[in-house]
Amino acid sequence: MVQRGRRVVLAGFGLALAGLAPLGGAKEGRAQAPGGIGSLVSLGDFPSAQVAPRKVVVWLPPGYDPQGERYPVLYMHDGQNLFDPATAMGGQAWEVHKRLAALAAAGAVRPAIIVGIASTRERAREYGPAQAVEALAPELRAALLGDPPTPGGQPTLSEQYLRFIVDELKPAIDARFRASPERADTFIMGSSMGGLISLYALARYPEVFAGAACLSTHWPITTNFNMLFDKEDARPVRYAAAYFDWLARKLPRAGRHKLYFDHGDATLDALYAPYQQQVDGILRAKGYRAGVDWISQVFPGADHSEVAWRERVEVPLRFLLSR
């Protein structure tokens, strides 16, 4: 759910990778990934001058050779939910490594490295699009994360979070693994608020990311459920409008990027259709071509959950990593 990051106990991110060397250790430690497909490397609590340290786990595909070819890299948010049911929300992991390995084995996509970045208690602030939020009136910003308004502090930390990924994490991944550093081989993906920050990352750093996949994107931005489900409260629409206005000005025009969007029509996803239609209009105006460099899909019956995203994650994987 949108607020799942707040309920994550960071100490629970135990991926059964005891003994693996942290970044900078003399020896790279690995463990077999769940299901025996590829391997996981824990970078422990990755340090940062921008944001609080958080768990980072890197999945290496079957046949990975530390002296061999360079691989595309997919950065994914909410990393605790990606690989292992023991650490995932509700015990339901995306199992994205299994989907990607099967597609690569069938020749449908390029083999790739996945970097799973765990979310923290600051998830809502780190994933909110800062420049859009900063354009809001002060009273709207103050109520973004709750009623009564959250006292003190910044309503968003996404600029810092993205600098962490681009300036700290990516250089470390490129140096330690057989990762291609090229823009054409660098992608980002997330769900719910992770969709918000994935699109924001591409728009803020179009020279770094070639594509973004945004599943069940939480366009209203707010994690205040009282206003989300109050049909008389216009604030969620105003939050989304601020982001759409920013995207209309800042999202790069078509030609060098791939953008994927989807949503279901149950639980929280039932709110998203009118918002996504506005985003689709922005994409058309920017010259994106449906099925070529932009996909927007609806999955009838799908809800807002890890299970739903697991069932369809191969769609954006095919789109971003196609040969």
DSSP string over 81-128? GTS-TTTSGGG----HHHHHHHHHHTTSB---EEEEE---TTHHHHHS
Q: Name 167's Cβ contacts closer than 8 Å, sequence gap at least 6.
A: 50
User: How far, in Å, CA of 100 to CA of 182, rounded?
Assistant: 20
User: How far, in Å, CA of 91 to CA of 321, rounded?
Assistant: 27
Instruction: State the total domains in the chain.
Output: 1
Residue 32 lies in a domain: yes
Residue 29: its pLDDT value, please?
56
**pLDDT (mean) for 46-51:** 97
Q: Map tokens 């800062």 to a residue.
A: 130
CA 164 to chain centre: 14
271: helix, coil or strand?
A: helix
**pLDDT (mean) for 120-146:** 92
Residue 15 lies in a domain: no
Residue 75 lies in a domain: yes
Residue 18 lies in a domain: no
Q: What is the pLDDT of residues 16-43, one digit of tens each?
A: 222 233 333 333 457 888 888 999 999 9
Residue 113 lies in a domain: yes
User: How far, in Å, CA of 308 to CA of 75, rounded?
Assistant: 20
CATH assignment of the domain containing 249: 3.40.50.1820
Residue 142: its pLDDT value, please?
86
Q: Are 205 and 163 a contacting pair, CB within 8 Å?
A: no
Question: 232 exposed, middle or buried (CB, 10 Å; 0-12, 13-18, 19+)?
Answer: exposed
Which contacts of 292-296 are long-range, i.e. CB under 8 A and separated by 24 or more positions?
A: 293/254, 293/255, 293/257, 293/258, 293/259, 294/254, 294/258, 294/259, 294/260, 295/259, 295/260, 295/261, 295/262, 295/319, 296/260, 296/261, 296/262
Q: How many CB atoms lie within 10 A of CB 300?
A: 7
Reported in sequence order, the residue ranges of the chain that DSSP labels E, i.e. its strands, are 31-32, 39-46, 54-60, 73-76, 113-117, 186-191, 211-215, 258-263, 294-298
**pLDDT (mean) for 167-182:** 98
Indicate the average pLDDT of the chain. Answer: 89
Residue 3 lies in a domain: no
pTM (2 d.p.) = 0.90
Indicate the pLDDT class of residue 13, thresholds 50, 70 and 90: very low
138 or 151: which leads in pLDDT: 138
Q: Which domain holds residue 192?
A: 27-321
The least confident of 22-26, 132-136, 143-147, 301-305 is 22-26
Residue 1 lies in a domain: no
Residue 2 lies in a domain: no
Residue 152: its pLDDT value, please?
60
Residue 137: its pLDDT value, please?
92
Q: Name 81's Cβ contacts closer than 8 Å, sequence gap at least 6.
A: 4, 87, 88, 89, 92, 93, 94, 306
**pLDDT (mean) for 249-255:** 97
